[in-house]
Amino acid sequence: MPLNIKDLKITSADFEPLGMLRDEHAGDKGNVLPRLTLSGVPAGTKELAVICHDPDAPLANGFTHWVVYGIDPSTTDLSDAQERFRVGPNGAGDKQYYGPQPPAGHGKHHYYFWVYALDTKVEGTPTREEFLQTYAGNIIEQNRIVGLYENK
């Protein structure tokens, strides 16, 4: 089943696509979740999921910074997502947002904030890898916004 990117969008008032994330969003400098907004949810969506992932992290599968499930399709504002929805384990095993913290001198890292519209509900709080393996066939649409961050 081909994955479509049509109307589903995830945007941020805190950074432009491929723009720099501010220090307050970094894991060691405030750890504040960027403001994220969802729109264009396709018909038939039962649930939304959002995952923030850094593929540039010097680990075999990169580093997952945030995993959120159980997002109602009518949701537009994710500012209180930590409290309202099911947060899965990040790359450190904690169920919370963990902001960017690339190694000093490692260059700019890309932080992909993915939104997935699903035709089913996600059971439990799987890791990013478990989610993609189990629910790939249930994704109606997906899209992302990418922010950059660097520790010099």
pLDDT tens by residue, 100-150 = 999 888 999 999 999 999 999 999 999 999 999 999 999 999 999 999 999
* 124 found inside a domain: yes
35 phi, psi to nearest 5 deg: -70, 125
With bands split at pLDDT 50, 70 and 90, how would you rate the model's confidence at 152? Answer: confident
CB 84 within 8 A of CB 17: no
* 46 found inside a domain: yes
Express each pLDDT in 54-88 by its tens digit: 999 998 889 999 999 999 999 999 999 999 999 99
pLDDT at 59: 87
* 17 found inside a domain: yes
* 4 found inside a domain: no
* 112 found inside a domain: yes
Query: Residue 3: pLDDT above 60?
Result: no
138 phi, psi to nearest 5 deg: -105, 5
CATH number, residue 132 = 3.90.280.10
What total of structural domains would you count in the chain? 1
Domain of residue 25: give its range. Answer: 9-150
* 92 found inside a domain: yes
With bands split at pLDDT 50, 70 and 90, how would you rate the model's confidence at 35? Answer: very high
More confident site: 100 or 4: 100
* 3 found inside a domain: no
